[in-house]
Chains A and B, each alone.
Chain A
Amino acid sequence: MSIEIDPLEEVDPASLDPPYAHPPYRSTVLRSPRHRLLKIPAHLESCTGPVFGEDVVGALDHDLTRQHDGAPVGERIVVAGRLCDGGGRPVASQLVEVWQANAAGRYAHRDDDHDAALDPNFTGYGRCLTGPDGSFRFVTVRPGAYPWNNHPNAWRPAHIHFSVFGRAFTDRLVTQMYFPGDPLLGFDPIFNSVTDPSARARLVASLDLELGEPAAALGFRYDIVLDGPRPTPSG
């Protein structure tokens, strides 16, 4: 190599995000890098992200209660919020995917051997595109808590997985939404892998009766804020 070049800097591990290695969550031990992440200079980053068209999303994909012939068992809820960048600006037309357990705490997944009922009327997958104001809205049932084998008598608090894209591929975020007042939250090593209390609180939805549907569904608000803003795409 003819030209000397400064090596990439290491990323400061201090972050509001969880660390990779968090031994109370046992699976992280062999699945966390030992080296620090290297920082790609901003001008060499890809400035654009995936743009998904309407063709990706079906008319009822946001309604997890209407994907089968019958209604699923459970407490029907609306989960709505906005996708924003770090400056509070809405992120429009981006794909939001969710997946979750059914009301009994069982996933429609072949590897879930929890001895709880499967619901033939509930798959637990939904998606939508955010609106011009960054808004998204799902209709679903409240998922159940379920046991896992991380430690004796371990139970995951009820949660919904969220996967979102931002304006840049580096904005990609996958997280979990929890429910307010869940007494299991204090015992959960995944929730508590986020050490900053105010950051952790942002993983918890808030009850919002205005977002629900009277006599039909309780409403919960869950806003998702990306760790941007990133530079404006310049082509």
Chain B
Amino acid sequence: MSGTDERAEAGPGRRRAPGPRPGAGAAPCTNGPTPWQTVGPYLALGFSPLASRSAAPGAPEARGTIRVTGFVLDGAGVGIPDAVVESWHTATALAAPPGDGAYIHPAGDGTAFFARGLTGPRGEYELVTARPAHRPGGGDEDQAPHLEIVVLARGLLRALRTRVYLPDEAEANERDPVLRAVADPARRATLLAALGDGAYRFDIRIQASGGEPETVFFG
């Protein structure tokens, strides 16, 4: 509960103490889990402030950064203009600060990276982030470099989770315990980005469309 000093500050036109104050802290959380709900069509209002700002076209990228671009597509093969793609992964710390205009969010100890890209009118998105590192697990458990991905959109009542693996890590991908365990080779291939023009290309198909299979999603 707020103290009387804080209450005295409250009211129109008065400045309040900065930051959130403990207001509801006394009671324990005894509820069950809070269910998901869709982000709705106006997600950009909530997600733009922390979204990636890509480097200006032609600008050199900082060493150690990668760019992942692609489309988020619905069951008719149409791009979804009101979606957001988020990535999370570990990487070695960047040798140099990100390039001019690039926004890379280092979280925690500086070797973990979060990036967020909103889709444009054709469903296109872009993530600029650090190149992911190998994740040693020991023996057969070594994981190839990958990004953990969350997709949210109007019409998605809960998040979709997937992974982006890199095509120039073929040897590590062959050994990756998650990739190897996707039984259908055509669907396994949906987890691999393609080499594009200065970027990795990774399309996310929420349903099969245009002769291409549905992307593998994880629960």
A interface vs B, CB < 8 Å? 1, 3, 5-8, 11, 16-20, 22, 25, 27-41, 43-44, 46, 48-52, 56-57, 59-60, 62-63, 66, 71, 78, 80-82, 84, 86, 88-90, 97-99, 101, 107-109, 111-112, 123-125, 127-131, 133-139, 161, 163, 169-170, 172-176, 190-191, 193-194, 198-200, 202-203, 208, 210-211, 213-217, 219, 221, 223-227
Contact = CB atoms under 8 A, between A and B. Distances in A.
17 contacts: A17-B36, A20-B160, A28-B155, A33-B217, A37-B218, A50-B105, A71-B12, A78-B23, A109-B45, A134-B29, A136-B20, A163-B46, A193-B37, A203-B35, A211-B23, A223-B31, A226-B33
Given A44-B137, A56-B50, A175-B35, A34 B158 contact: no
Given A16-B32, A82-B24, A125-B49, A99 B42 contact: yes
Prevailing SS type, chain A contact patch: loop
B22 to A, nearest CB: 5
Contact of A35 (B24, B28, B214): B214
Nearest to B155: A27
Contact of B141 (A28, A44, A78, A211): A44
Interface residues on B, range: 35 or more
Main secondary structure of the interface of B (DSSP, over half): loop
A62 B44 contact: no
A31 B155 contact: yes
Contacts, number: 283
A211 B24 contact: yes
Nearest to B108: A51
A117 to B, nearest CB: 16
Contact of B159 (A28, A32, A174, A200): A174
A30 B152 CA distance: 14
